[in-house]
Amino acid sequence: MIVKLESERLALQGRLDVQKSANERNRMGQFATPTVLAVEMLRCAKALLGDRECVHFMDPAIGTGSFYSAFLNVFPDSFIGSTVGYEVDPHYGRPAARLWSSTGLDMRLEDFTQAKAPDPSSRFNLLICNPPYVRHHHIASGWKKQLQERTLIASGMEINGLAGLYCYFLCLSHAWMSRGGLAGWLIPSEFMDVNYGRAVKRYLLDKVTLLHIHRFAPNDVQFNDALVSSAVVWLRNDIPKAGHEVRFTYGGTMERPVLDRLVPSDILCENSKWTHYPMKKNHGANNGPVLGDIFRIKRGLVTGNNDYFILSDREIAQRELPMEAFRPILPSPRYVPVDEIQGDRKGNPMLERRLFLLDPPWNEDEIMERYPSLWVYLEEGRAQGINDRYTCRHRKLWYTQEIRPPAPFVCTYLGRSDRKNGRPFRFILNNSEATAANVYLMLYPKESARCALQDNPVLKRQVWQMLNKISPQAMLGEGRVYGGGLHKLEPRELGNVSARAVVGLFD
Ligand SMILES: C[S@@+](CC[C@H](N)C(=O)[O-])C[C@H]1O[C@@H](n2cnc3c(N)ncnc32)[C@H](O)[C@@H]1O
C-alpha cells in the first residue's frame, strides 16, 4: 500500500509545485526531499535507533510527507507509535492530510514555530525534518524577535539575527524530543562555517549528542539543485559523554560515503570551520616533518594573459618570432597524460602540445632594432591593451615574466575528488627545462635535498614515487573544497602535508 501512496504523493507534489511560482516556494522554503534520500535517511534512523518497541515520529515541516512516507516504508507496522506532522501552508497541507488520512497521521495545519511543545510524556523519539530554508531577510523583524525568544526557552540558545529559519526549527524542536530521542536534519551546510551558525554548533556540542554529519559532494547529481550544499545532521537528545567522537562523512551516500572520519568533540569546540572535516586530520599540529621542510613550494607563474604570452611552436614559426625570446612551459595538466615528462636535447618537454612562454631578455629598443617580427607582436599586444593589465603594468618591462626556473617536481593546483583513481592531485616528475604556469605548484628542493638529488639521480624518481603515494586524505585535509567537488591546494597547504615517508629517502 505504501508504494501506491508514495507514487500518489509524488504525483501530488508535482501538481502542487507547478501551481506555485518559484518565488513563492523560495519564500517559504518549499523544496521537497527526493524519495531516495528520504528513504536513505529513514534507513539510517532505523539503524541508529536500534531495536525499539515503539517509534513516535514527528516532522515539523512535513510538506506532502516524503519522510512520513519513507518512515512507513522502512519501519514495520508493529514499531509505529504516534505520528505527527506540521505544515503551515494549506496548499500542501490539506491535500497531504487527505492523502495520509487512512494511515493515522496527525497532520497539524499550523505554524510549527508558534506551536506549544508537548509534555515530556508525549514527546517524540524520532524527529526527521527538511526545514524551510528561508533566509533571515525574509523573516519579518517582529517574528524574528519572537522566534529568538521561543528558541531561547526551548533550547537555551540565542540565535543570531542573520540565521535562516532552519536554525530556529532545529533548536525549537529540542522541546519536542524525548530524552534519548533521535533527530535527523537535512539542512544547508553553511551553518558549519559561518558566524551565525555558532549557536547551532554550541547546541549540537553542549545540549545534545551530535552523532554524525554527512555532506553531499557538490557535484553529486543524484539530488536537485536545492540540495547541492546540504548536510544531514544526526543527533540524540542526551548530554554528551566525555571523550565523545562525532562521525563526519563526505560524498557518496550516507551509507557508503567517500570519506569517513571520527572527530573528537573537543576538537570541534576549538575549530570554527567544520566543513574542513572529514578531510582535515583532527589534531591541528602536525609534529612530524612536512613537505615544506624539504621543498620550497611556489605557485607557477602568472603570465598576465596566457593566450598572448604562451604560444605553440607552430605559432612561433608562423610569425617568424625569435626562439631566444621564449622558454618552454608545461601545458595545463589536462594536456599532460603522463606523470613523467621527458625533455628533448634542448630541454623542451616531449609532449604533443609543445608550448613556449614569451619572456624576451631584451629592452624595447633592442627588440625594435633587432627583432622586427617580435616588435610587431608586442605592438599587437599593446593594441589589445595587454600591457595595461594589472600584472603587466606592474612589471619593469610589461612583456617579461617572473623568475620561475623549471622545478623537478610539480603538483597540480586544482583537483577533483571524484577522479576514477581517487587521487585529486598529481605529482609530475619534470625531467624537462619547462617552467609552469599557476595551474601547477612547483616544488624546488631545499639545499640539502638538492645536494642529495644531485649526487644520486635514482633518488629523484624515488622521491616522485613517494610523493604520489601520499594518501588523497592527507592532501585533501590541507586543501579546500570549492563548488563542483573541486579541491584547491595552496603552496602553504601543500607545505603542511606530512613528509614522513619522503624524508626517509634522504636518510
Ligand atoms: C523544505 S520543505 C520540506 C517538505 C517535506 N518535509 C519534504 O522533505 O519533502 C519545508 C516545508 O515546510 C513548510 N513550512 C514553512 N514554514 C513552516 C512553518 N513555520 N511551520 C510549518 N511548516 C512550515 C513549507 O510549506 C514546506 O512544505
SS3 readout for 352-371: CCCEEEECCCCCHHHHHHHC
Q: What is the pLDDT of residue 465?
A: 94
Q: How far apart are CA 176 and CA 417, in angstroms?
A: 39
Q: How far is the CA of 87 from the centre of ligand 1 (A)?
A: 6
Q: 436 is written with which cell numbers?
A: 609552469
Ligand 1 atom nearest to CA at 59: 6
Q: Is the CB of 132 under 6 A from ligand 1?
A: yes
* Close Cβ partners of 15 (under 8 Å, ≥ 6 residues apart): none
Question: How confident is the model over 35-82, as pLDDT tens digits?
Answer: 999 999 999 999 999 877 799 999 999 999 999 999 999 999 999 999
Nearest to 406 by CA among 447, 445, 456: 445
Question: Which spans in 136-264 are helix H?
Answer: 141-155, 165-172, 198-202
Name 302's Cβ contacts closer than 8 Å, sequence gap at least 6: 391, 402, 437, 438
Calculate the CA dihedral of residues 471, 477, 483, 484 and round it to 10 degrees: 10
The four Cα atoms 122, 127, 132, 136 give a dihedral, to 10 degrees, of: 80
Whole-number Å distance, alpha carbon 198 to ligand 1 midpoint, is 24
Q: Is 223 in the pocket of ligand 1 (CB under 6 A)?
A: no
Residue 503 three-state SS: helix
Of the candidates 271, 217, 267, 226, the residue with the CA atom closest to the CA atom of residue 246: 267
Distance 420 CA to ligand 1 centre (A): 38
**What pLDDT sits at residue 500?**
80
Segment 22-30 mean pLDDT:
86
Decide whether any atom of ligand 1 lies within 6 Å of the 13 Cβ.
no
Q: Is the CB of 340 under 6 A from ligand 1?
A: no
Q: Which ligand 1 atom sits closest to the C-alpha of 60?
A: 21
Q: Which of 437, 391, 386, 430 has its CA nearest to residue 407?
A: 430
- Nearest atom in ligand 1 to the alpha carbon of residue 91 is 25
Distance 20 CA to ligand 1 centre (A): 14
Tell me the percentage of the chain whose pLDDT exceeds 70.
93
Decide if pLDDT at 133 tops 70: yes
What whole-number distance in Å separates Cα of residue 410 and Cα of residue 427? 6
CA atoms within 13 A on the CB side of 169: 29
Please give the model's pTM, rounded to 2 decimal places.
Answer: 0.62
Helix (H/G/I), strand (E/B), else coil: 298: strand
User: 380: which residues sit within 8 A by CB, 6+ positions away?
Assistant: none
For ligand 1, the distance from its centroid to the CA atom of residue 155, given in whole angstroms, is 21
C-alpha cell of residue 408: 623537478
Q: Is 68 in the pocket of ligand 1 (CB under 6 A)?
A: no
**By percentage, how much of the chain surpasses pLDDT 90?**
71
Q: Are 240 and 210 in contact (CB under 8 A)?
A: yes
Nearest CA to ligand 1 atom 7: 32
How far apart (Å, rounded) are the C-alpha atoms in residues 229 and 191? 11
Q: Are 218 and 483 in contact (CB under 8 A)?
A: yes
pLDDT in tens, 219-250: 665 555 556 688 999 999 999 988 899 999 88
Q: Write the DSSP assignment of 119-164 as a string of letters.
A: PGGG-EEEEEE------GGGS-HHHHHHHHHHHHHHHS----TT--
pLDDT at 27 over 90: no
| Cβ of 188 less than 6 Å from ligand 1 | no
- How many whole angstroms from 200 Cα to the centroid of ligand 1? 20
**Domains in the chain, CATH or no CATH each:** 2-214+225-247 (3.40.50.150), 291-304+329-351+402-505 (3.90.220)
Top pLDDT among 287 and 229 is at 229
